[in-house]
Amino acid sequence: MDNNSRRKMIIEHLSNSTKPVSASFLAELFCVSRQIIVGDIALLRASEHNIISTNRGYILDDIMRKKHTRVFKVSHDEMRTEEELNIIVDFGGKILDVYVIHELYGKISAKLDLSNRNHVQNFLECLDGNANKPLCKLTDNVHYHTVEAESEEDLDLIEKKLVEGGFLIDEK
């Protein structure tokens, strides 16, 4: 792998990481010395990549990793929860939260952070129907999801699939 390819791969790896990445890890990943990686990072910074050094490794500044978010108002019965969540994650979305607007209590929300089918499955296993019920039970199945994606196009596709599935409520 040449130097430029390695540097592109470093940026790609940092942009996909949710936590700091150490120079030692990158060195092992690309089969070079730690000093080579330190030099690569210096060159990448000089070429206007906003890489931040932390005591645990390197991260890209959030400006470089800007995500797009959209809130979807949806409704379905409990039997279709898995289908709805899988549509979102299958088409590149990360479900940040779920919330309802309750007539008496106002907005009630819960953080979810579901980004793949395994996360969805783990969440569903916690909804046993007895003690743990979905928030939408408080509002006749109407609820909202804040969804994050890499692009507006991904969010548009998720919206289209939710409409096709009969999940999305049009607020217009």
Residues annotated within a binding site: 76, 84, 143, 145
Q: Judge contact between 41 and 10, C-beta under 8 A.
A: yes
Question: How far is residue 166 from each of residues 16, 72, 101, 128, measured CA to CA in Å?
Answer: 32, 13, 21, 24
Using alpha carbons, select from 71, 124, 122 the residue that is nearest to residue 100: 71
Q: Determine the distance from the C-alpha atom of residue 96 to the mean position of all C-alpha atoms in its chain, rounded to a whole number.
A: 7
Exposed/middle/buried for residue 2 (C-beta within 10 Å: 0-12, 13-18, 19+): exposed
Residues annotated within the binding site for Ni(2+) are: 76, 84, 143, 145
Using alpha carbons, select from 135, 127, 141 the residue that is nearest to residue 75: 141
